[in-house]
Structure 1
Amino acid sequence: MIRTQLLALGAAALFAAPATAQEATPSPMTQPHDWGALLKQDATAAHAAIIDSHPGVQDSLNPGFRSQADAGLAVALERAKTASTAGGWWWALRGFIASFDDGHVQLGLTDPSWGFPTRWPGFLTAYRGDDAVVATRDESDASTPPVGARLLDCDGVSAADLGAQRIGAFRGRWFLEAQKVSFGDWLFLSAQNPWISEMRTCRFETGGRAASYDLTWRPLEGDALRARRTAAGRQPSIDFGFTRLPDGGYRLAMPSFDGDPSGEAFPALTALLAEAEAKQAELRAAPYVVLDLRGNGGGSSHWSQHIARTLWGDDWLSAHGEAPIQGIEWRASQANLDAIRAYLAEWRAAGVPEEDERMVWGLRIEAGMVAAMAEDKSYWSDMAAPPDVSMAAPEAADPPLLMQGPVYVITEAGCGSACLDAVDLWKAAGAVQVGRETSADTVYMDVRDQALPSGLARMAIPMKVWRGRARGNNEPQTPARLFDGDMADDDALMAWIAALPR
């Protein structure tokens, strides 16, 4: 049910990439420390937390997990011998976390305003498919390649290898389109990472002709950095909303599924679901309904299940739900149990009643973990619980379809975690995915937060493993209708959807 962290740290602090900022007080990143010792301490603690609480350690279906964790630690400890800067500490830790290729094993600075001086060569690239092309440049510098130029190689290293070495090695999952879309601009950003060097000469192709460019690196910080990254990435940003469209269709915009009662998304989602229920008849009779998930990185699957029931109804979902999963197993550890109890305490403080499905869920997990730990078991199996609609078995008789028009689900590269759960559920019910390919996740999920000993960073650790999920491990959802335009261009995207044949 809970797919991303709900504790006070918040998603922005836990998952933010380092960004340069001007602080009123000095950043710890600029203070003297024994960075090699801190790296050794934090990497060792991160490894210990993984071994203690991650379900993959005891997973018989993933026998290489433990050796992978040990190998990642070995690289970090070797780097600790020579790490002498904050950048050396940070990027070595990032490399360790990236080695798991798991979007639910994450690392973030304790304060996202901390960061590192950043440099660029006067241009940034973005990925268009597998090609890195110049997306923004300093127009006053004639020595930089033109916008649209395609990268061929740098210092004799192919463009494909550059991406894997300079971004994939520190972000993980480089086989996904979503990673290239999200982090492609980092190919020509330098943020004090001593484990890679700044390129000197690169070749680009424009109009079928290749040309070499000598790179001159210079500072790019603060607002200028943010503006350039925005220009290069063009990531969509939408607000929550329930809108009746001019042609009678409806658009439900849900840029987050965050389940934190103290967060901004919680009241917005609560209001949206209430309006959807109140206008259920209109939604079901509409020529089409758009479920807009742009910007949605996950949260709680509670919201998407509620939307599914409102649109299709329980009978249809029972007959057209996802294939039943084989099992859910929670890694039984004291730290994981403490995290579940923290969720329960926060919900109680927010006034969530004991009979609410979230409280019932949390209390069941708490009791199961306590029982498993008392018997010295590695896992507690959650299959005794009543199934979610996404796990319901099909019925023999097919109930009537209550939706008169198609349901379109807009996705893009940022869709992960509980956003992916929503796409899984809604597509099984008959929704049509449009837009761009999603991100992907492993079968390890429901994360908790843990501080590292330095106090400078925190990590996220999955607590359960999902057995027999229909969508494979690290497998994205691919749209039936691919939008080739700018996913941030709201008017163009909605006009394109309105014109789709129905």
Structure 2
Amino acid sequence: MQKKWKELTNNDLSAMHQLIVSAHPGALDSNNKAFASWVEQGYLEARQLSAQVKSKKDSLAVLNFYIAGFQDGHVGLSQSKQEKSSWAGFVLGMKGQSFIVKNVSKDWPVPLPPVGSEVVACDNKSVREILESDLSPYIDRRLKLHSTWLHLATQLTVDDVNYPVLGRVLPNNCLVTLPNGDQQHFTLLWRQERGELDPLLSQPQPPQTLKGLGDGRYWIHVSNFTPSAAENASLDKMLSGIKSINDAKLVVLDARGNRGGNSLVGVEILSALLGSKVVNGMGEQSRAYAMWRVSPFALSTLSHVLKSMEGDYGKNSEAYKFVSGLTESMGLALREKKDWLRQPSSSSIDQGKLKGFNAQGFKGKLALVTDSFCASACLDFADIVLAIPGTVHLGLPTSADTLYIDIGSQSLPSGAQFWLPLKVWRDRARGNNQSYDPSFIFDGDINDTAAVQKWVLDTI
């Protein structure tokens, strides 16, 4: 059986390596030598690790090791869950630089550190050292990002089926500073999760809505940039409502729960609020442009997206026409054996025809709320909002993107889905793997909408 898992791992690694070499823009990017280096060095290291693979869990750990080395949030793996995660009955978060108990099980056979306690060390090794040296190589190596540490912190007391670590030795005992300042050792009991854990690790997505809070204040949940056909209807309704709040004193754009998707959704929302001239003007001021890596994989991905857009938006939509033109250009570039295809400027999409067109535009105070999962199209949205003078940023530091974006996915020999980006930004104002850090940090439960709203309104 061990031999079988090792072969499966190496077959998956080979397929991943080939697809990155043939389709990822980083493999040809002369501005990013480190990426090209890891393509080969990481492949070699991962194949060496595969000798230790004894199970499906080990296999995933080795694949994730290779992926983590790219430090690219748009390179990833998804597969059907067959096993369950285990945990020690509590989950950590962060407060400042400290690792704090954020949630505890309601029913655990052994004593657990109370919520608010600081976990200092486990098995005589500091928490920071465990996260950096033991877990980070398999989960996320972008240690300059606060969002990475937040994610790693949750993994200390969780043996996550999605983020396994090869040969991981689970901690037995942790030294904890209690809320009253006393220190105490806690023996850890690890058990398979029974429905309590997943809600603690997942980031809920508030419904995308416009809410009036009274006294000229409005709260807009911008949480879903991948709306279904049905959700598009409610988006239209929301856009109509946004266009009528020109006289508002304050608008809070709440991006909690937003995982990215179609940047055009964000543009529509901002055009409805600010006026398309403002949004379009910012696009024209930017020197950024995108280059697609020309490959059969990029062409098949664009063709698939085009079919999906026909169902969601219709052939007469600006989004469909834009992708249709891009797909034709990709086919031509492939036939001409080119390496790169420049994407037409987004200003070629007529902003005036967008569903959210607003000739007037809101002129009051603007605030943006983010969580630590804001990435991809959510960050594109933040780029525009935070460029508006006077915008106040609150919540948690965002995640970050490389300059590589727009993903496609392919099945690996094992059946897992491997996804990777297909284009690279040039001259983008936001740097490679650069996050946005709020002026005001929320230290409570970022998923508690009522608490976040009260804090935001009290703060600004």
TM beyond 0.5: yes
Cα 1:35–1:159 shift into 2, 3 Å: same
Matches within 5 A, 1:144-155: 144-155=112-123
- Map 1:17-416 onto structure 2 (within 5 A): 34-109=4-79, 111=80, 113-116=81-84, 118-137=85-104, 143-172=111-140, 173-191=142-160, 193-206=165-178, 207-215=180-188, 217-226=189-198, 230=200, 235-259=203-227, 263=228, 266-277=229-240, 280=243, 282-321=244-283, 323-350=285-312, 352-353=314-315, 355-383=316-344, 386=347, 402-416=361-375
**How far apart, CA to CA, are the structure 2 residues paired with 1:454 and 1:45?**
10
Q: Would the aligned equivalents of 1:254 and 1:296 in 2 still touch at CA under 8 Å? A: yes
Which amino acid is 1:124 matched to? Answer: V
The CA RMSD measured in Å over matched residues stands at 2.7
Q: Report what 2:406 is aligned to.
A: 446
In 1, Cα distance between equivalents of 2:350 and 2:456: 28
CA contact 1:154–1:203 (8 Å) conserved in 2? yes
Q: Could you say what secondary structure the match of 2:226 adopts?
A: coil
2:33 alignment partner, SS class: coil
SS across alignment from 1:34:
helix
The change in CA–CA distance for 1:91 and 1:305 in structure 2 (over 3 A counts) is: same
How far apart, in 2, do the equivalents of 1:140 and 1:344 lie?
A: 50
1:53: Cα distance to partner?
0.5
Superposition deviation, residue 340 in structure 1: 0.2
1:248 is displaced (CA, Å) by 3.0
SS at match of 1:346: helix
TM-score between the two structures when normalised by the length of structure 2: 0.88
Secondary structure of the residue that 1:45 maps to in structure 2?
Answer: helix
Question: In the TM superposition, what whole-angstrom CA distance separates every residue of 1:362-400 from its partner, at most 9, and x where no partner exists?
Answer: 12221222232223221111246745699xxxxxxxxx9
What do the CA deviations read for 1:219-266 (whole angstroms, capped 9, x no partner)?
222313335xx1xx584541222222232322221321015xxx3xx4
Report the 3-state secondary structure (helix = DSSP H, G, I; strand = E; otherwise coil) of the residue aligned with 1:81: helix
Contact 1:409–1:434, Cα closer than 8 Å, also in 2: yes
Q: Which runs of 5+ in 1 are unaligned?
A: 1-30, 391-399
Whether 2:445 is the aligned partner of 1:486: answer yes
- Residue 396 of structure 1 corresponds to none
Q: Aligned pair in 2 of structure 1 residues 214, 402: CA closer, same or farther (>3 Å)?
A: closer
> Could you say if the C-alpha distance between residues 314 and 224 of structure 1 is closer, same or farther in structure 2, counting changes exceeding 3 Å?
closer
Ranked by relative contact order (alpha carbons within 8 Å, sequence separation 6 or more), the top structure is 1
Task: Tell me, in whole angstroms, the C-alpha distance in 1 between the residues paired with 2:346 and 2:282.
Answer: 20
**What SS does the aligned partner of 1:306 have?**
helix
Q: How many residues align?
A: 446
Q: Matched residues in 1 for 2:341 and 2:64: separation?
A: 31
- Structure 2: how far apart are the matches of 1:199 and 1:327? 47
Question: Displacement of 1:155 after TM fit?
Answer: 3.1
Instruction: Indicate the residue corresponding to 2:355 in structure 1.
Output: none
- The TM-score normalised by the length of structure 1 is 0.81
Gaps of 5+ in 2: 352-358
Assess if the C-alpha contact under 8 Å between 1:316 and 1:401 holds in 2. Answer: no
Which residue identity lines up with residue 405 of structure 2 in the other structure?
M
Letter in 1 for 2:118: R
Residue among 433, 440, 450 paired with 2:393: 433
